[in-house]
Structure 1
Amino acid sequence: MGAFFVWPRPTLMALVVALQVGFVIGAFWRAALAVASLRPQSSPRQPSRWPRYTILAALHDEAAVVPQLIRNLSQIDYPRRQLEGFLVLEAHDRATLEAAQAAPRPDWLRILVVPAGSPQTKPRALNHALSSATGEFVTIYDAEDAPDPGQLREAAARFADSPKLGCLQAPLRIRRSGSGLIGFLDRQFAFEYAALFEVNLPGMACLNLPFPLGGTSNHLRTSALRAAGGWDAYNVTEDADLGFRLWSAGWRLGVLNSPTWETPPGGLERWLPQRTRWLKGYMQTWGVHTRAPLALGRRGMLSLVMTLGAAIVSAACHAPTLAWIASALMVGLHAGMAPEAPLASFAVLAVGTIAAWMGCAVGARRAGLDYRLTDMLAAPAYWSLLSLAFVHAVWRLIVAPHVWDKTVHDAEMDVECTPVLTLDAGREAA
């Protein structure tokens, strides 16, 4: 920081060059992941026996969507005698508890109440439920999730094929029933998810790299999860942290083909707290894992830098960069001359922007979304909102580091789930 006061101009130029280099590296990184993701996964063999599976769904202030979640979980196609599930509820959340008790549930799905305590976070509730889990594998679902009915069968088959596989992440696909994705935030959020879950994570899995898990639909080997100490109850993105902790313990991470459908958060008043929590958790996870970088190894550190590190830095830079470009163009136009900003800088930004557009376009195609020219042109505005979330995240990290900013979910109209993967034989009735 002192360098700005002693050598302001050279320090600023060095910072600009460093950011430019980062943009170029990030563009090549996304291109490499896109190419790696083209390699199709082999079809897993059906295991000789279906292992016991535990489903955990931690709910808080979700009374409106409890019946919808139970209905979606009831559609899961897995041998019922090998299946157990828990709706994990907070003791003080009477509305959600009453809604869960009133809704018809399959025999394998039970209610588990978390005793009062702190911190009041999703990972703390999951850790409490983990002590009751008897499954060889465990998976996490959120209140608004509609998992593909064949997802557990695919996961069990892939785990059976690879004993060193500690976790599998299912792709999360965004949809809104009825009117579809028509709002600015809804569409940009869906494309962001498509680039992440349809391109980046499959590419990283193909390259045998660790990655931050999604907050839902990650399937875990229970023995590996317990050996890693469960979830970090104080990290508000416990999923991102867990992916790297499993890697440090010697486990590999993979991805599934069977998706889980989710709804977008909605308006800015819901999107902003969610994104603030994610960025705050990324900062927490970055701080934890950079204390002992050797534990991750070179591949793990590369992944940490190019996922969480890049997400934090880019969120901080998006809005200032856009403001700089806009001001340079306006000053140039007003003066009737070319902008003073170097063309090389614009070229670097163009390369990064095109790489981001291509990732969204490829991911959208795989997720069955229509990615339009208007979506591409609107993307910089969405990216700039990340800078607002970054400022909020820094402030929240200082004043309330372990407070969980809850995302509100609304009940959706019925949408039919179409299975993506089917494994032959062995179907058992409920």
Structure 2
Amino acid sequence: MRRGTAARADDDALKSARTTLTTRQTLGLTLILTGVLGATAMAPLSGSVVLLSLQIGFMSLAAWRVFLLWNSRVQPLSDTPQICADPSCPWPRYTVVAALYQETAVLPQLIERLTGIDYPSDRLEGFLALEADDVATIKAALDLPRPDWLQVLIVPPGAPKTKPRALNYALARCSGDLITIYDAEDDPDPLQLREAATRFIHEGDSLACLQAPLRIRCRNKASASPFLDRQFAAEYAALFEVTLPAMSRLALPFPLGGTSNHFRVPVLRALGGWDAWNVTEDADLGFRIWRAGYRLGVIQRPTYEPPPGPLPLWLPQRTRWLKGYLQTLAVHTRYREGMCWRGWTALAATVGAGVASAAIHAVCAAWMFSLALTSIVAGRLPHFSPLGSIVLVSGVIAAWLLKHRGVRQAGGSYSPGDMLPPSPTGACSAWRSPMR
């Protein structure tokens, strides 16, 4: 049972988020922060060097986004390997897992959507992985009609009580050649499993994981949906329609989405499954797969899901994501095995940049606003550093273009303002995440 629930933490504590920071990491961070803050406070020249370093970093991020745009050409569905329509095709056995907790309200909808999956039923196996203390959801799952291939799997009590722990419990008991993960409110394309299986068959054993695009289905028409919903949808479009396809083309590692990942079961078991202590176990797993010498890819048939909702729901989710990104950075920067400059670049440009951008955007915006306001009050025109202005404009344009391309490829329709980052709320979640 233990092997099926907390395998990652047991195998190697340094490679699990169960270990927050090593002594060396804590000492290194302390020295860096002390040096930066001290130099900035004591010497104007040193402060200028720090500011210049930040500007170079953000200019590099803007260039990276343009590079992704250039490499994000998506292969048309008509050019992908043809999905076999013959019932006698030797389809691999597929395991579908949905790890749920207190999801009674959406359970009927989930079962209906899983039932609609277009895959030979004799090659399907499914688990609704439910925590032992979630009596209401267990009762509802047992009472609702389900296809024969979909079972209720009770995850025994234990720590930590997390989604990846439940997934590991299901992984230890599955009989599939391939496995995929869905969340409670997911609505996957019925042919998604067939597309993934076809890709695995055609591309060989080096391909270990495929990520389906996640698309946000707003609660109302795009023009009437709340700003955070539309912004969240544009953000997802930039990630799943542009960034991940480009990184896949470049054979780089990337953070997986939290759902609709498709894996080869033997590879996933060899890696020890998911890290039960990492709240973004998906991001961590993408880099671990690549470090083990395997490839990551993307497919095109999407999974639709709802937005997180208003700010009281959006903020905790974003805080949890950034906390998980910090955990992933901590884990993957404390050992070198399987990493090279390409892997470090991908880690910094995705996970690292995600945390840094959220933390600094609002600070920079507030600083520029205060400079402008002070100048106006003093009766003079605002004066900004030419280099700083170029960095700011370049970053905003690159991010906007990335979202615009993603929204267009996802078939959405949004206003230019929806492409801008929610800086104040993003910064709030970024500064909350280390304390969490």
TM-score normalised by length of structure 1:
0.89
Distance 2:336 2:152 in 1: 40
- Quote the residue 1:268 is aligned against: 311
> Which piece of structure 1 moves more, 204-213 or 101-110?
101-110
> Which piece of structure 1 moves more, 109-118 or 34-43?
34-43
What letter is aligned with 2:331?
Answer: V
Distance 1:40 1:107 in 2: 36
User: Is 1:301 matched with 2:344?
Assistant: yes
Which of the numbers 337, 346, 364 marks the counterpart of 2:389? 346
- Quote the residue 1:252 is aligned against: 295
Which of the numbers 65, 73, 87 marks the counterpart of 1:38? 73
Q: Do 2:178 and 2:263's aligned partners in 1 also have CA atoms closer than 8 Å?
A: yes
Distance 1:374 1:309 in 2: 25
TM-score normalised by length of structure 2:
0.87
Q: Do 2:212 and 2:302's aligned partners in 1 also have CA atoms closer than 8 Å?
A: yes
What is the deviation of 1:297? 1.7
What letter is aligned with 2:47?
Answer: L
What is the deviation of 1:367? 1.0
SS at match of 1:140: strand
What is the deviation of 1:191? 0.4
What is the deviation of 1:24? 1.1
User: Is 1:170 matched with 2:221?
Assistant: no
- Quote the residue 2:15 is aligned against: none
Which of the numbers 244, 251, 255 marks the counterpart of 1:212? 255
Distance 2:219 2:227 in 1: 16
What is the deviation of 1:197? 0.3
What letter is aligned with 1:292?
Answer: Y
Q: Deviations over 1:6-45 (max 9, x none)?
A: 5442232122111111111111111111111115264114
Q: Deviations over 1:220-257 (max 9, x none)?
A: 01011001110001111000000000001111000000
User: Is 1:140 matched with 2:181?
Assistant: yes
What letter is aligned with 2:192?
Answer: Q
- Quote the residue 2:166 is aligned against: 125
Distance 1:117 1:44 in 2: 43
Note the residue ranges of structure 1 that are not aligned, 5 or more in a row: 397-430
Q: Structure 1 residues 354 and 224, CA, compared in 2 at 3 Å: closer, same or farther?
A: same
Distance 2:302 2:83 in 1: 19
SS at match of 1:194: helix
SS at match of 1:293: coil
Q: Deviations over 1:39-67 (max 9, x none)?
A: 52641144651100000000011111100
Distance 1:385 1:252 in 2: 35
Q: Deviations over 1:275-309 (max 9, x none)?
A: 11111111111111111135222211111011111
Distance 2:336 2:353 in 1: 17
Distance 2:244 2:201 in 1: 21
What letter is aligned with 1:10?
Answer: L
What letter is aligned with 1:34?
Answer: L
Let me know the Cα RMSD of the aligned residues.
1.4
User: Is 1:55 matched with 2:96?
Assistant: yes
Q: Structure 1 residues 5 and 303, CA, compared in 2 at 3 Å: closer, same or farther?
A: closer
SS at match of 1:76: coil
SS at match of 1:321: helix
> Which piece of structure 1 moves more, 302-311 or 46-55?
46-55
- Quote the residue 1:417 is aligned against: none
> Which piece of structure 1 moves more, 130-139 or 37-46?
37-46
- Quote the residue 1:419 is aligned against: none
What is the deviation of 1:96? 1.2
What letter is aligned with 1:5?
Answer: G
Q: Do 2:188 and 2:304's aligned partners in 1 also have CA atoms closer than 8 Å?
A: yes
- Quote the residue 2:410 is aligned against: 367
> Which piece of structure 1 moves more, 87-96 or 46-55?
46-55
What letter is aligned with 1:244?
Answer: F
Q: Do 2:219 and 2:225's aligned partners in 1 also have CA atoms closer than 8 Å?
A: no
Distance 2:135 2:345 in 1: 45
Distance 1:189 1:206 in 2: 25
Q: Structure 1 residues 167 and 25, CA, compared in 2 at 3 Å: closer, same or farther?
A: same
- Quote the residue 1:411 is aligned against: none
Aligned length: 393
- Quote the residue 1:5 is aligned against: 38
Give the ranges of 4+ consecutive aligned residues of structure 1 lying more than 3 Å apart after TM superposition.
Answer: 2-8, 45-48, 177-181
User: Is 1:28 matched with 2:63?
Assistant: yes
- Quote the residue 1:384 is aligned against: 424
Q: Structure 1 residues 178 and 342, CA, compared in 2 at 3 Å: closer, same or farther?
A: closer
Distance 1:117 1:27 in 2: 44
What is the deviation of 1:340? 3.4
What is the deviation of 1:383? 2.8
